[in-house]
Amino acid sequence: MTRLFNDPDDFAEESAAGFAAASARWVRPVTGGVVRSTRGAEPTVSVVIGGGSGHYPAFAGLVGPGLAHGAAMGNLFASPSAHQVHSVAVAANEGRGVLLSYGNYAGDVLHFTQAQERMREAGIDCRTVLVTDDISSAPKAEIEKRRGIAGDLVVFKIAGAAAEAGLDLDDVERLALLANARTRTLGVAFGGCTLPGADEPLFTVPEGRMAVGLGIHGEPGIDEVDVPTAAGLAELFVSSLLAEIPDGVDADGARVVPILNGLGSVKYEELYVVYAEIDRLLAEAGIVVVSPEVGEFCTSFDMAGVSLTLLWLDDEIEPLWHAPCDTPAFRRGAVEGRIAVDDVEVVEEEVVIGPASDASRNAATTIDRAMTAIAAMLDAQADELGRIDRIAGDGDHGIGMQRGSKAAAAAASSSAAAGAGARTTLQQAGDAWADKGGGTSGAIWGEMLVALGATLGDDAEVDAARIAAGVTAMKDAVMSFGKAKVGDKTMIDAIVPFADRLAELVAAGTELVPAWSDAADTADRAAKATADLTAKLGRARSHGDKSLGTPDPGAVSFALIAHTVLDILEGNE
pLDDT score, position 270: 98
pLDDT in tens, 154-172: 999 999 999 999 999 999 9
Residues 344, 407: Cα–Cα separation, whole Å: 27
Q: Which of 217, 397, 543, 563 is catalytic?
A: 217
Q: Are 123 and 191 in contact (CB under 8 A)?
A: no
How far apart, in Å, are the Cα atoms of 209 and each of 1, 137, 226, 300? 19, 20, 4, 19
Instruction: Report the alpha-carbon distance of residue 536 to residue 249 in Å, rounded.
Output: 32
Question: Which DSSP symbol is given to 346?
Answer: P
Contact of 476 with 492, CB cutoff 8 Å: no
Rounded to an integer, what distance in angstroms lies between the CA atom of residue 340 and that of residue 354?
Answer: 41
Percent of the chain residues past pLDDT 90, beyond the cut: 78
3-class SS at 307? Answer: strand
Ranges of the chain with pLDDT below 70:
342-351, 392-394, 482, 536-547, 572-573
- In this predicted structure, what is the pLDDT of residue 441? 87
563 included as an active-site residue: no
Dihedral angle of Cα 473, 503, 107, 34, to the nearest 10 degrees: 40
For residues 314 and 337, give the distance between their C-alpha atoms in angstroms, rounded to a whole number: 29
Backbone phi and psi for residue 61, each to the nearest 5 degrees, phi listed first: -70, -5
For 287, 370, 506, 514, the CA distances from 511, given in Å and listed in that order, are 72, 19, 6, 6
- What's the pLDDT at 347? 46
Alpha-carbon separation of residue 189 from 215, 239, 246 (angstroms): 9, 18, 25
Per-residue burial over 30-65, b = 16 or more CB atoms within 10 Å of its CB, e = otherwise: bbbbbbbbbbbeeebbbbbbbbbbbbbbbbbbbbbb
Q: At a CB cut-off of 8 Å and minimum separation 6, what does 140 contact? A: 244
Amino acid code (one letter) for 428: Q
Beta pairing class for 38-39 and 33-36: unpaired
pLDDT given at position 214: 82
pLDDT at residue 219 in the model: 76
Element (H, E) at 253: none
Cα separation, 59 vs 278, whole angstroms = 27
Helix/strand/coil for 160? helix
Q: Is 441 helix (H, G, I), strand (E, B) or coil?
A: helix
- Asked if residue 221 lies in contact with residue 211, where contact means CB atoms within 8 angstroms, the answer is yes
Please name the helix (run of DSSP H) or strand (run of DSSP E) that holds residue 156, with its range, or none.
helix 152-164
pTM: 0.86
What pLDDT is attached to residue 354? 86
Residue 351 confidence (pLDDT): 65
pLDDT number for residue 343: 54
